[in-house]
A and B are shown apart, each in its own frame.
Chain A
Amino acid sequence: MSNSLTLAPAPRSEAAEQVRAEVREFLAAELAAGTFRTHVDTWLSGVDPAFSKKLGERGWLGMTWPKRYGGHERSAMERYAVTEELLAAGAPVAAHWIADRQSGPNLLTYGTEKQREEILPRIVAGECFFVIGMSEPDSGSDLASIRTRAMRNGDGDWVVNGAKVWTSNAHHSHYGIVLVRTSPADPSSRHAGMSQLLVDLSLPGISINPIRILDGGHHFNEVVFEDVVVPGDMLLGEEGNGWHQVTAELAFERSGPERFLSTYPLVAEFGRRVAETGDPGQLAALGRLSARLLALRQMSLRIAAALDRGELPNIPAALVKDVGTTFEADVVEEVRKVVDVTPSLDSPDPLARALAEAQLHQPGFTLRGGTNEILRGIVARGLGLR
Chain B
Amino acid sequence: MASDQDLVVGTVKDILSGFEPFVLTAERRWDAGLWSALGDAGLTGVGLPEEAGGSGGELADAVAIVRTLAAGAAAVPVAEQLLVAGPALVAADLELPSPEEPTTFAVADAVTVHPVDNGDGPGRFTLSGTVADVAWAGAARHVVVLAPAPAGMEGAVLALVDASSLPAGDAFNLAGEPRGSLVLDQVGTSGALLTVGQADEVRARYALARAVQMAAALEQVLAWTVQYAGERHQFGRPLGKFQAIQMELAEMAGEVTAVTALTDAAVQSLDRAENVVPAAAAAKVRAGAAVEVVARLAHQVHGAIGFTQEHKLHHLTRRLWSWRDEAGSELVWSRVLASGLLAGGPDELWPALTRAV
Residues of A within 8 A of B (CB): 1-3, 5-6, 8-9, 20, 24, 84, 88-89, 264, 267-268, 271-272, 274-276, 280, 283-288, 290-299, 302, 316, 319, 322-323, 326, 373, 375-377, 379-380, 382-386
Contact = CB atoms under 8 A, between A and B. Distances in A.
A288 B357 contact: no
Contacts of B250: 319, 322, 375-377, 379-380, 383
B1 A287 contact: no
B349 A294 contact: no
A323 B261 CA distance: 13
A318 to B, nearest CB: 9
7 contacts: A274-B338, A287-B334, A290-B338, A292-B286, A377-B246, A380-B249, A384-B226
A293 B357 CA distance: 11
A283 B340 CA distance: 10
A375 B333 CA distance: 31
Contacts of A382: 253
Given A373-B247, A383-B226, A385-B230, A287 B261 contact: no
A272 B346 contact: yes
Nearest to A24: B351
A302 B261 contact: yes
A271 B346 contact: yes
Given A292-B286, A295-B259, A376 B247 contact: yes
B262 A298 contact: yes
4 pairs of A and B residues whose beta carbons are closest in the complex: A287-B334, A376-B250, A275-B346, A380-B246
B148 to A, nearest CB: 22
A290 B229 contact: no
A134 B219 CA distance: 36
A373 B357 CA distance: 30
Contacts of A302: 261
Contacts, number: 158
B286 A294 contact: yes
B240 interface: yes
A295 B253 contact: no
B251 interface: yes
B337 A291 contact: yes
Contact of B345 (A8, A267, A275): A275
B348 to A, nearest CB: 9
Interface string B132-165: 0000000000000000000000000000000000
B59 to A, nearest CB: 14
A373 to B, nearest CB: 7
Interface of B: 1, 219, 222-223, 226, 229-230, 240-241, 243, 246-247, 249-251, 253-262, 264-265, 268, 279, 281-283, 285-286, 289, 330-331, 333-339, 341-342, 345-347, 349-351, 353-354, 356-357
A148 to B, nearest CB: 28
Contact of A271 (B226, B330, B334, B342): B342
Nearest to B267: A9
Contact of A294 (B229, B257, B356): B356
B346 A385 contact: no
Contacts of B246: 376-377, 380, 385-386
Majority DSSP secondary structure for residues of A touching B: helix
A287 B222 contact: no
Given A271-B341, A376-B247, A377-B246, A287 B230 contact: no
Contact of A323 (B257, B341, B347): B257
B285 A291 contact: yes
A295 B261 contact: yes
B230 A1 contact: no
B106 to A, nearest CB: 24
Given A294-B357, A296-B258, A323-B257, 10 more contacts: A1-B256, A9-B264, A88-B350, A272-B346, A287-B333, A290-B282, A291-B285, A322-B251, A376-B251, A385-B249
A379 B254 CA distance: 9
A283 B258 contact: no
A373 B246 CA distance: 10
Contact of A287 (B254, B259, B285): B285
A5 B253 contact: yes
Contacts of B283: 291
Given A8-B1, A275-B342, A290-B337, A298 B357 contact: yes
B286 A295 contact: yes
B222 A323 contact: no
Contacts of A284: 331, 334-335, 338
Contacts of B281: 287, 291
Contact of A295 (B258, B339, B345): B258
B341 to A, nearest CB: 6
Contact of B241 (A24, A326, A385): A385
Nearest to A385: B240
A129 B57 CA distance: 53
Contacts of B339: 283
Nearest to A1: B219
B296 to A, nearest CB: 16
Nearest to B226: A383
B265 A6 contact: no
B1 to A, nearest CB: 6
B357 A297 contact: yes
Nearest to B223: A1
B261 A298 contact: yes
A286 B352 CA distance: 13
A263 B229 CA distance: 36
